[in-house]
Amino acid sequence: MSTRWIFGNQLCMDLPVLKEADREKDVILMVEADSRTLWQSYHKQKLVLIFSSMRHFAEELTDKGFTVDYRKAESFRDGWEAHRQAYDPTDVHITKVTDDRMRRAIAKWEKGLSDDVTVHYEDERPLFLLSAEEVKERLPGDGPWQADGFYRNLRHDLGILMDGERPIGGKWSYDQENRKPAKSGVDFPKKRTFRPDEITEEVIEEVKETYSDHPGDLDDFIWPVKREEALKALNQFISDRLPTFGTYQDAMLIGDPYMSHSLLSSAINIGLLKPMEVIEKAEAAYEKGDAPLNAVEGFIRQIVGWREYMRGIYLKKMPAYKNVNVFNHKRDLPAFFYTGETNMKCMEQSIKPVIERGYSHHIQRLMVIGNFANLFGISPQQTSDWFNEMYIDAYDWVVLPNVLGMALYADDGLLSTKPYVSSANYINKMSDYCSECPFHPKHKTEDDACPFNALYWDFLDRNEDKLTGNPRMKLIYSQWGKRDEDDKEALRNKAKSLKQQLSKGAFDTNL
Ligand SMILES: Cc1cc2nc3c(=O)[nH]c(=O)nc-3n(C[C@H](O)[C@H](O)[C@H](O)COP(=O)(O)OP(=O)(O)OC[C@H]3O[C@@H](n4cnc5c(N)ncnc54)[C@H](O)[C@@H]3O)c2cc1C
Ligand code: SF4
């Protein structure tokens, strides 16, 4: 007989590994492995998401007539051994995995198998739009690569939002229209949430007991854990929230970490939703006139462009990629990353939702938390570990390029054309955070000056040799060059003192 082994982020009925299964003869193996949960100190909600979704998926498979061998084991290897003794399979079918550590673990396990078992690696689509080979072919050479070109070509080749050979509306990107700040008073339709059922409640109790030392709260678990729920979340997003997704895509508001973001990544990344069906629903909303082009194109670009692109970078550059650190940043991650208790309003508003539910939206991740880590010179590896541990949608293949590449530029521009660093100006423009912050967004060296200001200039100053040749940094370096020496020295001294204060935990307390 054949075994078809499904991992916790492959919960999709349309995968070849399941579509080609013989329901009479084959057995589906699923293993909840304790050792896997300890690779990093994962957020409690992430553990609940994976275990509950796996158990729901096993139930769905059984309902569809499959034989499921669902095991709780110390390790994948132990789970496999127990399964082998029970079923004695001659063939094992596995969907190809993307994460490097998991790939190596599977290769090691395969090496140790006896000759009478053959392993077959099946296509990972529709978990992604492209296979690993296809995405790597679209990123020739060693880089650097550009997300724009990758997105245009892929959208063209897949015929998404196309009018013949031309993009619908005449432009490939409507990003310029998607940068409106949302000041207090703007309201967004509520997102769809899901109440834990019996299975999820049981998992919550288990996680509370076994993983009490892991970070994150478990008071309010809202995530879809089965396909039926994920589809409801998708449909509600498309009908109620997609229309305003574009315009306010980059905005941030006190008390609303969701705004018009889809919150679909947790479901897409474990297979409950297929990226192509999400794209098709968004495209259909545009065709029916239910959502404007800037929203639909902006949303589709995240999936066709960024999601596939990031995976491609990961596949091309691992394992060396995880160690990149072009700015040689070594500072430790501050303690408040695990409590959210800080007097910097923007950081508090971006970190607290992560502790509460494993989520904050893209601009909070990029322009607040990532920006903070870069300007304070925090170790990129500690930063990516934190993102990997804390987010409901985190997997190595998507965390490393987003954190090390996009947010920190620690890869020296392999995937983006310039560092996403900014002073308080950007946050003040795009959010209402600064209005409730004890720091002043316009002050630079005063006692109450926003830390981002001096640190921004300090970052540019100390990395001038690495960044001055970048055409997109020319203007900012010419502004720096025009400052008089006293001014520069005052900014350097302020930055030095801020970094000393950070080491002493100053931002954990009130001014
Ligand atoms: C520092 C940093 C860390 C990140 N960590 C993760 C992570 O662990 N897991 C993750 O899935 N995404 C990550 N992203 C990308 C992006 O922020 C999230 O995909 C998005 O915020 C998820 O929320 P959403 O579903 O509401 O997304 P929306 O804003 O509604 O976007 C729609 C979908 O597009 C995809 N998407 C958007 N941007 C990206 C991107 N840059 N890379 C890959 N897919 C993208 C996601 O599938 C997402 O569900 C990170 C980005 C940054 C800057
Ligand atoms: S003043 Fe500075 S620290 Fe405070 S919210 Fe604004 S950007 Fe953040």
Looking at ligand 2, which residue's alpha carbon is closest to its atom 6?
A: 434
**What is the location of CATH 3.40.50.620 in the chain?**
2-122
Which of 49, 362, 409, 415 maximizes ligand 1 atoms within 8 Å of its Cβ, making it the mutation to test the pocket?
362
Right CATH for 2-122 from 3.30.565.10, 3.40.50.620, 3.40.50.1980, 1.10.1040.10: 3.40.50.620
**What is the location of CATH 1.25.40.80 in the chain?**
132-198+213-317
**What is the location of CATH 1.10.579.10 in the chain?**
335-510
Is the CB of residue 403 below 6 angstroms from any atom belonging to ligand 2? no
Ligand nearest to the CA of 224: 1
What is the reported pLDDT for 179? 79
What is the reported pTM?
0.97
Distance (Å, whole) CA 14 – CA 18: 7
Q: Which residues are bridge partners to 73 per DSSP?
A: 33
For residues 15 and 7, the answer to whether their CB atoms sit within 8 Å is no
Mean pLDDT for each consecutive 10-residue tract of the chain (511 residues)?
97 98 97 91 97 98 97 96 97 98 96 94 98 98 96 98 96 86 77 94 97 95 97 97 89 92 97 98 98 96 98 98 98 95 96 97 97 97 98 98 98 95 96 95 96 97 94 94 96 96 76 40
Pairing of strands 162-163, 166-167: antiparallel
Right CATH for 335-510 from 1.10.760.10, 1.10.579.10, 2.30.33.40, 2.102.10.10: 1.10.579.10
Residue-by-residue DSSP string for 247-278: TTTT-BBTTBS-TT----HHHHTTTSS-HHHH
What is the reported pLDDT for 510? 47
126 Cα distance to chain centroid = 19
Which residue shows structure tokens 């695990």? 338
CA of 433, closest atom in ligand 2: 5
CB neighbourhood size of 114 (10 A)? 6
The CATH code belonging to domain 132-198+213-317 is: 1.25.40.80
What is the reported pLDDT for 185? 67
Looking at ligand 2, which residue's alpha carbon is closest to its atom 8?
A: 346
CB neighbourhood size of 444 (10 A)? 18
What is the reported pLDDT for 176? 83
For residues 275 and 12, the answer to whether their CB atoms sit within 8 Å is no
Burial label, 140 (beta-carbon count in 10 A; 0-12, 13-18, 19+):
exposed
Tell me the three-class secondary structure of 412-443, residue by residue.
CCCCCCCCCCCCHHHHHHHECHHHHCCCECCC
What is the reported pLDDT for 183? 65
Which of 261, 393, 396, 420 maximizes ligand 1 atoms within 8 Å of its Cβ, making it the mutation to test the pocket?
393
Distance (Å, whole) CA 177 – CA 169: 13
What is the reported pLDDT for 181? 85
